[in-house]
Amino acid sequence: MSQPNPTYGELASVTINKMSKTASDNVTANNAVLREIEKSGNVEPIDGGLNINEAIEFAANVNAGSYSGYDVLPTAAQDIITTASFPIKQYSAQVMFNGLEEMENAGKEKIIDIVQARVKNGFHSIENLINVHLYLDGTGNNGKNITGLNAAVPLAPTNTYGGINRSVSTNAFWKNQKFQSTVDGTGAAVAATIQGYWNTFIISLTRQTDEPTIIICGPSVYSIFENSLQAIQRVMDADKASAGFKTLEYHGIPVIFDTTAAGITTTDAFFLNTDYLKWRPHTDRNMVSLDDKNSLNQDATVKTIVFAGNLTCNASFLQGRYSNT
């Protein structure tokens, strides 16, 4: 069957292909967490496999130790490395054109306008979904959504994450840190107490030079922290500010505001070490278009934009969740 709308089909293909690199960049640039992961060099594309796997050291080598002269050196067999396994999640947006629209939008410039508008909308729709789902736990749409921060860094770290059951005592290495103000503190934080809570919490998230690289706050937590600062302390991170994010700093760590519309709970703050978080897009499905699909019984063409990949982690104990509840 011949192409019902050759002008639209070709224009849509060219427009989507020209935009796809920009769109994939926008997924990271438009989300503070993904932007920080990118800065840490942890956008690592995958090119195949059933799952996305991250190797994890979960125990020390018991054969390590001091010795003298002809001492017999220990060679005990041991398991010290395991794997966290994350499924590949898929997103799509369908861009559609029909013959009537081709006739109604006669003239080259008008055709380009409508094609570009719909293509941009398709990209933006996927980007917005990923940005929202990044805060959730991946169970949405029958488990088809990306495995977001609510699974990676829950307030009650007893879930199974990356295929590893956190409720098992021997898997304590895979639990994230948490601080709940009414449980681990003396009550809900106010401007006079929030920095004291955070000072205590950040100790559990620090390992030598490792510490959180970014703190993402819901509206009420951000407001309390902002009010806790003296005017001279309200230093903004220039890089985040230039990217359009509302930011402050805490011990040199960017503190970034996000809205509940984006998916974060108003009373939550994520203390994230993005050196150990990874964004893993598939090389063949990183905001690109598939071949045209032409309807057998309609004068219409469908162009599909796709993304595949997931958010992964290889050091959960360096990730933290603060809740002002």
More confident residue, 146 or 20: 146
What is the rounded average pLDDT of the residues 13-26? Answer: 69
Give the domains, in start order, of the chain with CATH numbers. Answer: 6-58+81-323 (3.90.1690)
164 has a pLDDT exceeding 80 = yes
The CA distance from 123 to 107, in Å, is 25
Task: Please give the order of strands across the beta sheet that includes 177-180.
Answer: 177-180, 320-323, 268-272, 214-217, 253-257, 247-250
Q: Look at the chain and count its residues.
A: 325
- The pTM score is 0.84
| Cα dist from 13 to 1, 3, 21, 205, 261, whole Å | 19, 13, 14, 47, 32
225 has a pLDDT exceeding 60 = yes
The answer to whether the CB of 201 falls within 8 A of the CB of 193 is no
148 has a pLDDT exceeding 90 = yes
Task: Label residue 14 by pLDDT band (50, 70, 90).
Answer: low
Per-residue pLDDT at 243: 44
Instruction: Identify residue 268 by its one-letter amino acid code.
Output: D
The CA distance from 138 to 52, in Å, is 15
Which range is most confident: 26-40, 198-212, 233-247?
Answer: 198-212
The CA distance from 11 to 97, in Å, is 11
Task: Label residue 110 by pLDDT band (50, 70, 90).
Answer: low
Task: Label residue 187 by pLDDT band (50, 70, 90).
Answer: very high
69 has a pLDDT exceeding 90 = no
Task: Label residue 3 by pLDDT band (50, 70, 90).
Answer: very low
Q: In the chain, which ranges are continuous DSSP H helix?
A: 6-29, 32-39, 99-104, 108-133, 140-143, 149-152, 181-184, 194-204, 219-228, 238-242
Per-residue pLDDT at 236: 60
Written as six digits, the tokens of 113 are 């306008």
The CA distance from 161 to 159, in Å, is 6
Sign, CA torsion 221/227/231/233: negative
The CA distance from 302 to 37, in Å, is 34
Summarised one tens digit per residue, pLDDT across range 245-304 is 567 999 899 999 999 988 899 999 999 999 999 999 999 999 988 887 877 788 888 889
Per-residue pLDDT at 136: 96
The CA distance from 228 to 191, in Å, is 4
Task: Label residue 93 by pLDDT band (50, 70, 90).
Answer: very high
What is the rounded average pLDDT of the residues 189-201? Answer: 96
Instruction: List, as one string, the DSSP characters of 13-54.
Output: HHHHHHHHHHHHHHHHHTSHHHHHHHHTT-B--B---SEEEE
- What number of other Cβ atoms are within 10 A of residue 241's Cβ? 14
Q: CA-based diameter of the chain, in Å?
A: 90
Q: Report the chain's mean pLDDT, rounded to a whole number.
A: 85
Per-residue pLDDT at 240: 52
Residue 67 DSSP class: -
State percent of the chain over pLDDT 70.
81
What is the rounded average pLDDT of the residues 158-185? Answer: 95
What is the rounded average pLDDT of the residues 211-219? Answer: 96
The CA distance from 45 to 235, in Å, is 35
Per-residue pLDDT at 106: 64
116 has a pLDDT exceeding 50 = yes
Task: Label residue 163 by pLDDT band (50, 70, 90).
Answer: very high
> CB under 8 Å, gap of 24 or more: what pairs does 34-41 form?
34/134, 34/279, 35/240, 35/243, 36/213, 36/214, 36/254, 36/272, 36/274, 37/274, 37/277, 37/278, 37/279, 38/279, 39/274, 40/213, 40/274, 40/275, 40/277
What is the rounded average pLDDT of the residues 222-226? Answer: 95
Per-residue pLDDT at 4: 41
- What number of other Cβ atoms are within 10 A of residue 303's Cβ? 25
Poorest-confidence range of 21-35, 230-244, 304-318?
A: 230-244
